[in-house]
């Protein structure tokens, strides 16, 4: 196979590939109680579209984990993400149903 034929072959193959996207949602949230603290665990469900893999990835993370991720992304991609809203940190009321529901939407 010549180089040109190989390039044409890969162009045809590439045109058949589907664009892969990651879709995610905060599926649920629950209050976790430890000996000395309480916090909210958010369940994140991630689905990869356009691929042969139809499995979901499910992880649980705290607000502080999302906050660390957001800070790292801002550091790396600053201007591109500076307009992306992130739920503010609260000193009180973090465990209220209203706050948890609001954060789920905003995250």
* pLDDT tens for each residue of 48-85: 776 666 678 899 999 999 999 988 988 888 888 878 88
d(CA 103, CA 44): 13
Largest Cα span, the chain: 69
Least confident of 7-16, 18-27, 42-51, 78-87: 7-16
**Residue appearing with tokens 């992130």:** 86
Cβ proximity of 3 and 57 under 8 Å:
no
Res 68: pLDDT: 92
Question: Model's pTM, two decimal places?
Answer: 0.70
Quick: pLDDT tens for 31-44.
999 988 899 999 99
């Amino acid at each position: 196979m010549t180089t040109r034929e190989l390039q044409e072959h890969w162009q045809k193959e590439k045109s058949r590939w589907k664009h892969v996207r990651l879709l995610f949602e905060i599926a649920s949230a629950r209050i976790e109680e430890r000996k000395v603290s309480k916090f909210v665990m958010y369940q994140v469900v991630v689905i990869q579209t356009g691929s042969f893999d139809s499995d979901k990835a499910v992880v649980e993370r705290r607000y502080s984990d999302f906050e660390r991720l957001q800070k790292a992304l801002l550091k790396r991609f600053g201007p591109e993400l500076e307009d992306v809203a992130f739920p503010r940190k609260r000193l009180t009321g973090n465990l209220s149903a209203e706050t948890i529901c609001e954060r789920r939407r905003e995250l």
